[in-house]
Structure 1
Amino acid sequence: MAKHHHIPVDFGALLKKKPLPQVTIKASVREYIYLLLLTQHGEWRYDNGFQCLLWEKDFEQTDNLNIWLDQVRDDIRFSVHKYETRLKIQDVDVQRDELQELSRENKVTRIRNRLNIRVKGTVIQSGENFDETFLMFFGPITVV
């Protein structure tokens, strides 16, 4: 069975020649997708395509939230399909909800946007079902 190492790599342990923590293939796929979601354009110098459109969409103004969500979903589906080849994708869904932070007096002090990104598929090597949700807090998506 192939070894799958935890992301991020513990370079301190690596330099001390200690064994690195290993994870299941399913956990490895999840960590890799999360890394892809957190990477912005040009951040990985070896491949500018290794990115997620989320960071270019942060604080963007839109007059149609559904179109915005569709663009993000399509980009995530494309990126995961291209870079996470251990997964056969069945569906990617992106939903947005607002979380209200309340003061002691139960007054709304802040509203935070949260993206719920759900990736469904099959891990090719093991045949396991993959159904994971990634929660990401996001800048204010302004609907004009």
Structure 2
Amino acid sequence: MPRRVSDVMTPAPQALPLDATLYEAARVMRDEGIGDVLVTYAGQLCGMVTDRDIVVRAVAESRDTSLTPLGEVCTAELCTLHPEDDTETAARLMIERSVRRLPVVDGGRRPVGIVSIGDLAVADGQRGPLPEISKAPPNN
């Protein structure tokens, strides 16, 4: 399996600034057919918001999605990868952190890609880390 993250990542991930609203993030997710948006401050990665975050941390708490900034609900403590990391490292981190996607950043924390369980599964065919990652409990 050892391949570079840059070989399997989705390049140019969708990102919005920290002060963008949950409504804006939800529209990007809908329009792009994705489940996450990276959150940036001055072009540097500072968080991630997922469709589940919007539901659990905002809608279920009766927050106004057109007024609530991403900074209030995004996950700020992220585990990241670099393009030259190998896919085994990505799989290990997903298992250890119970996450389904990892942002890929350059040396200055500028987002350059994202790696998901699906990316790893496609890269490795029918075998590989997907079953073990999928058994990991969800990250709340």
The two structures share one fold, judged by TM-score above 0.5: no
Looking at secondary structure, tell me which structure has more strand per residue. Answer: 1
Q: Which has the larger radius of gyration?
A: 1
TM-score (normalised: structure 1)? 0.25
Higher helix share: 2
Q: TM (normalized to structure 2)? A: 0.26
Greater RCO, CA 8 A, separation 6+: 2
